Amino acid sequence: MNMKKTILSSLMVLGVLSASAQEPKGTTEYVFNPHMYIQLQPVGAQYTLGEIDFQDLISYNVQAALGYNFSSAIGARLSVNAWQSKAGISNKDFGAGNFEESWKWKYVAPSLDLTFNLSNMLAGFNPNRVFSLGAFIGVGANIGFSNDDAEKVKNDYIAACGGYLPAADREQNMEYVWDGTKVRVTGRAGLTGDFRISDKVSVGLEVNANLLSDRYNSKKAENADWYFNALAGLKINLGSTHTTRFTPAPEPEIRYVEKIVEKRVEVPVTPAVTEEKIEPLRRDVFFTINSSKIRNTEEQKVKDIVEYMNKYPAAKVIVTGYADAGTGNDKINDRLAAQRADAVVKALKTTYGISESRISYDSKGARVQPFAENDKNRVSICIAE
83-92, 196-205, 259-268: range with lowest mean pLDDT: 259-268
What pTM value is reported for the model? 0.58
Q: Which residues, 6+ apart, have CB-to-CB distance to 174 below 8 Å?
A: 89, 150, 153, 154, 157, 218, 219, 220
Decide if pLDDT at 317 tops 60: yes
d(CA 143, CA 45): 18
Decide if pLDDT at 102 tops 80: yes
Find the radius of gyration of the CA atoms of the chain: 35
Q: Which residues, 6+ apart, have CB-to-CB distance to 380 below 8 Å?
A: 284, 285, 287, 319, 320, 321, 322, 340, 341, 343, 344
pLDDT tier for residue 21 given thresholds of 50, 70 and 90: very low
Q: In DSSP terms, which residues pair with 44 in a beta bridge?
A: 231
d(CA 370, CA 250): 11
| Per-residue confidence (pLDDT) for residue 260, from 0 to 100 | 57
81-95, 217-231, 360-374: range with lowest mean pLDDT: 81-95
17-26, 28-37, 216-225, 235-244: range with lowest mean pLDDT: 17-26
Decide if pLDDT at 212 tops 80: yes
Interval 268-286 mean pLDDT:
76
| Per-residue confidence (pLDDT) for residue 20, from 0 to 100 | 44
Decide if pLDDT at 159 tops 50: yes
| Per-residue confidence (pLDDT) for residue 273, from 0 to 100 | 56
User: Within 13 Å, how many C-alpha atoms sit on residue 168's CB side?
Assistant: 8
* The most confident of 49-63, 135-149, 277-291, by mean pLDDT: 135-149
The per-residue pLDDT for range 120-150, each reduced to its tens digit, is 999 999 999 999 999 999 999 999 999 999 9
Percent of the chain predicted with pLDDT > 70: 81
DSSP string, 311-331: H-TT--EEEEE---TTSS-HH
| Per-residue confidence (pLDDT) for residue 264, from 0 to 100 | 61
CB 83 within 8 A of CB 119: no
Helix (H) or strand (E) holding 340: helix 330-346
Decide if pLDDT at 1 tops 90: no
